[in-house]
Amino acid sequence: MHALPRPLNQEILLFEPSTPEAGALRAVLAFPSTYSVGITSLGFQVVWATLARRTDLDVRRLFTDRGDPPHRHCDLFGLSLSWELDGPVLLDLLEQQRIPLWSRQRGEDDPIVFGGGPVLTANPEPLAPFFDAVLLGDGEQLLPDFVEAVIAHRQAPRAERLRALARVPGVYVPALYAPRYDSAGSLLAVEPIEADIPATVAKQTWRGNTLSHSMVITPEAAWPSIHMVEVVRSCPELCRFCLASYLTLPFRTPSLDDGLIPAVEAGLGATRRLGLLGASVTQHPQFADLLSWLDQDRFDDTRVSVSSVRAATVTPQLGRILAKRGSKSLTIAIESGSERMRQVVNKKLATEEIFAAARYAREGGLSGLKLYGMAGLPTEDDDDIEATADLLLALKNASPCLRLSLGVSTFVPKAHTPFQWEPVRPEAEKRLKRLARRLQPKGIDLRPESYGWSVIQALLSRSDRRLAAVIAAVRGRHGSQGGWKTAYRSVCEQPEGSLPPLPPWQDTIHGHWDTERVLPWEHLEGPLPKATLARHRQEALAAASVRPACATPG
């Protein structure tokens, strides 16, 4: 284990970084937020450790508030992006490093600017003109081949280097693809501009026997001194809106003895705080065995927490062991209190199972239950929102000693999911307020996400390459919703012909899209083909007409 020099001197590393050899490529790996947030990102940690283990790279980290000692010049500049609203920070970081913002403006001496993470894998197009290369998929699969291609062609002219990268599976080079529009401004295709460039780029999927765990432990992380272990990747439930499920298919689980236990043990010499992560950790086939292992006396000084769990998998054992290991609450995603809506989104969860999860949490010794839901889901009506309020109030009556909180967000369509064609619904704003009126006076902690920021998130998640001009124009104002609208209007008012016309704001955010429409990310292959996603959408909408009899057990 190695401590870094100041200003990051409280870190304990769980890997052995290499000493860069003479002539090593100089790389910067950036995160578009503060150190405490960025260092809590397991994906960022794993990418950094992967690069730092190589002798042919000299890699430094950069956050918005600090970083490792900088290079005087870098050859590679990478960004990890997991949240749409962080995208514009890329431009601030590039300017800070004196790197031209637009890829077309970079010359032979400028670094190759690359990016990865779920946002860029889903739909990189709004940010595409700022990147030289985008890595689509799992870093474990992509990074070695990407770095080898960069090193093999480091002496070649920049244009030749980019062509070489475009031939690496999963590496998308936006400058070698051009969008084509019809006279009305509708997208017709995004196509390679040269004959030997692949017509489509496929997301790469890591299929190894292990997943990831923390590479650094620090008290300065947003979750202080925590050792994070990825228990599962993806989710078998396939809720129709869920990017974390659809984009990361197939569902993968490391074995207990060869994967999870060694991953947990790796961090226990540095900390006694353990976080078990994944979209649906309790659906690991050996999760009960993992809990039993953590129930040993030698873990009595270890605090264990888990990310959101599927309510139907909550057991008395889970509640008891988590309480014994220092957890105060359990987190479950219900999406809606309406059984009809849960059927629409493919949430395989009965109302009785939600009450059972609360009961097991209380009986196990936990004091809180955190629930997550949505407003504005496709086909949702006021009765469905009322059902959510009714459910929370009934839970409070059934478990008066359990502290209840509801985090609720507005539905935002995501690429490569069955609901990518569905709009943000303006009714969601009033429905968030309706939940507040019903729940807050009853002592239920309601934590609504901003409807206005959900609109901006949808603008970024659903747009094509033309939005890059807006992202450039909003610099310095991207922390304000009004700043985004002003920037959008200013780009729309550019003299005709200076920029491709922007698609209408209303259509991008609030429009119902036809399944035959060419999508901005259609040239980028996700785990499931468009036809399969369209079929899943149809199945969801077919379920919308089924209204089961209401039953609210106590």
Question: Which residue ranges make up each domain of the chain?
Answer: 12-202, 226-457
Instruction: Look at residue 8 in the predicted model and tell me its pLDDT.
Output: 60
**Rounded to an integer, what distance in angstroms lies between the CA atom of residue 64 and that of residue 393?**
42
**Topology of the domain comprising 226-457:** TIM Barrel (3.20.20)
Instruction: Look at residue 546 in the predicted model and tell me its pLDDT.
Output: 64
81-85, 205-209, 474-478: least confidently modelled range: 205-209
**424 Cβ partners below 8 Å, 6+ apart?**
376, 410, 411, 412, 413, 454, 455, 458, 509, 510
Average pLDDT over residues 184-190: 94
**Rounded to an integer, what distance in angstroms lies between the CA atom of residue 175 and that of residue 197?**
11
Instruction: Look at residue 9 in the predicted model and tell me its pLDDT.
Output: 66
**Any idea what DSSP says for residue 197?**
S
pLDDT digits (tens, 9 = 90+) for 11-27: 999 999 999 999 999 99
Instruction: Look at residue 56 in the predicted model and tell me its pLDDT.
Output: 97
The pLDDT mean for the chain works out to 94
pLDDT digits (tens, 9 = 90+) for 109-123: 999 999 999 999 999
Cβ atoms of 478 and 192 within 8 Å: the answer is no
43-47, 166-170, 173-177, 204-208: least confidently modelled range: 204-208
Instruction: Look at residue 3 in the predicted model and tell me its pLDDT.
Output: 38
**Rounded to an integer, what distance in angstroms lies between the CA atom of residue 292 and that of residue 506?**
52
Instruction: Look at residue 197 in the predicted model and tell me its pLDDT.
Output: 97
**Topology of the domain comprising 12-202:** Rossmann fold (3.40.50)
Average pLDDT over residues 141-164: 97
**Rounded to an integer, what distance in angstroms lies between the CA atom of residue 85 and that of residue 119?**
10
Average pLDDT over residues 354-371: 96
Average pLDDT over residues 41-54: 96
Instruction: Look at residue 497 in the predicted model and tell me its pLDDT.
Output: 64
pLDDT digits (tens, 9 = 90+) for 429-459: 999 999 999 999 999 999 999 999 999 999 9
**Is pLDDT of 10 > 80?**
yes
**Is pLDDT of 2 > 70?**
no
Read off the tokens for 174.
């936006």
Per the confidence metrics, is the pTM higher than 0.85?
yes
227-230 and 216-217 strand pairing: unpaired
**Is pLDDT of 6 > 50?**
no
Average pLDDT over residues 514-518: 97
**Is pLDDT of 551 > 70?**
no
Locate all alpha helices (DSSP H) within 269-404, ordered by sequence. 287-294, 316-324, 339-344, 351-364, 382-398
Peptide bond into 503 cis (omega under 30): no
pLDDT digits (tens, 9 = 90+) for 299-319: 999 999 999 899 999 999 999
Question: pLDDT grade, residue 337 (50/70/90)?
Answer: very high
Read off the tokens for 422.
């569905």
**Is pLDDT of 4 > 50?**
no
**Is pLDDT of 272 > 60?**
yes
